[in-house]
Amino acid sequence: MLEITVDVLGIEDMMKSLEATKADAIKVKSLKEAGTILKTAIEEATPEAAVPPTSESTALPQGALKNDVEMHVSRSNHSVVVGYGKWTRHVARWLEFGFHRFKTGKFINARIGFFRGAVEAALPEAQATLKESLLTNIAKAFKGGEIDAA
């Protein structure tokens, strides 16, 4: 699991002076904005199958991996998880880290390594967006504006 931290010194003190529901809504909205940047970067870096699967193959349909990038925001520990869905997660793992020895004795190493590179490239923008969103929404809350955490 890839863990990313953002330095929010001073912001946490401002959050404590807000109502708990407003502070939670601000955190969720900001995490969604930063997560969307990471999700877009991963989708753009995800490779697509060059050849469509045949009726005899068990390969994923073209575009399935790219279209199955998911983002989940946790309200309990204020985190965002961006990754592949249940049905494509194993293929993304194979492409990222390579295949391993199968029962037939063959060893296949088709390592591409697209996921971490995409996240590392988009990380500075996502962190800046998170900080900016937190500050903007905190200022809006202190002025009496509504925070939309949809």
Q: What's the pLDDT tens digit per position in 39-56? A: 999 999 988 877 777 888
Q: Is residue 127 a part of any domain in this protein?
A: yes
Q: Is residue 15 a part of any domain in this protein?
A: yes
Q: Is residue 53 a part of any domain in this protein?
A: no
User: φ, ψ for residue 52 (rounded to 5)?
Assistant: -65, 145
Tell me which residue range forms the domain holding 70.
11-48+62-142
Q: Is residue 73 a part of any domain in this protein?
A: yes
Q: Angle at Cα 118 formed by Cα 114 and Cα 121, nearest 5°?
A: 140
Q: Which residue has the higher pLDDT, 49 or 63?
A: 63
Per-residue confidence (pLDDT) for residue 1, from 0 to 100: 47
Q: What percent of the chain has pLDDT over 70?
A: 80
Identify whether the C-beta of residue 131 lies closer than 8 Å to the C-beta of residue 6: yes
Q: Is residue 89 a part of any domain in this protein?
A: yes
Q: Which residue has the higher pLDDT, 104 or 60?
A: 60
Domain count, the chain: 1
Q: Is residue 39 a part of any domain in this protein?
A: yes
User: Where does the pLDDT of residue 140 fall: very low under 50, low under 70, confident under 90, or very high at 90 and above?
Assistant: confident
Average pLDDT, the chain: 82
Q: What's the pLDDT tens digit per position in 73-122? A: 988 888 899 999 998 998 888 888 766 655 555 555 555 678 888 888 99
